[in-house]
A and B are shown apart, each in its own frame.
Chain A
């Protein structure tokens, strides 16, 4: 048999679900202290997520997409990027965004029905949340192309879900990343479900990582509940990208522990048993156990930090709740740099209808 091509996809995992190392850790983690701020960030994310869900339940927020269970993947992705890089999220990667400087109040404003939530104070050049699934992957590819054409050593990172990896835009992004050898990392956050559709119904492919082969990209599958694996996978991909070796597809194996959004009821379509089982791989437990075993963390510290997180989130929630609604003219003022005359007339009419001159 003549072989035209051969491939192997590597799988990365360093900590087992109980937080015990499996074999040798990558060199960067010889000093586990570096993991501590990330663990604290993960805890902050979980606190934020929990409070945002409650806010929605009490009618003070619109539909909200929780990130419960994704903390290691999201925080790890964000932590692996440099400031000048560009991040293109889907709609639940708060952990990555916090690492990049996005504020909790901005996230709440967005889900609270106010476009100003997309006007991140920092980072100015990251993409806004992208509701049309995986379209952000192509914007990230375009950003990566801009970097490459300008000879900048920046990279673009996009996230999409397991469902999102079926979207033609995802394929288009990996195809162009391969064609132009772009500094692009496509992060497929495989949380098992796309609303009610299980990963198994999305594709016949054994792994989602292997989709990158279609574009000749570097492919990797990592345990997305293991922060160390996430960081190591991202490190490898980022290094390749910055060295001009092109793009990667990384599949992060994790699980959506919450409903799809607050508008969803997952009990309609998935077994409690599956969710229960997934909780045994909770990314928080794993890292907490590991850091505790390393004597870097304790129950007391956790309690104190949890309280601080709650306080911090409450400050953000209040800032959100106190933000007045935009005036009616806001719907006209950001459409064009140079608005046409007819539009300005409509703007005036809308203001008049408010009883303002």
Chain B
């Protein structure tokens, strides 16, 4: 068995430097690699290109890096209600490549699975397709989109084992599996790290071969963006 566990978040992020391209899992604040993000703030690396569906909120998630101006460019599908993100984008301080959410997922998967590029219908006829190659198949138009190239991928899982196998929970799964193995080094943080052999091989979402380093994360805040509830009648 090939062991992937590292002692802590510091060891997990060894080698991260300025100017790198990073992938970060999560949708909104759900399933984001909280420990890795906190460490990126600590390391104070700058000029980063971040591939992540969102950029957190003003004071959490990738928003923390935006506030410190550590990010040069975001590749995302959604800005939403993140005011600092929108402000930096409109002022031109931050380069932003907005792409369709499914394209984002599949450009990650292409990198993971060794595909150089994919044809997707998303964005055809819009400014997203400007300057890109397009092509007709069976009477429908598609846009050629390339696999991402990234230095590190930071993902967050629910459970993981020392062989790097991962299991995600609920919709905190989102982009995390697609990013595993899609960068030169994939770092997984988990809520519970167990010995190899503990997880059922049939229930593993991402095999350890896609993960280079794994560690037990600490103090998960797991903030909720929109707390919607109903009353018991």
> Is the A/B pair a real complex?
no
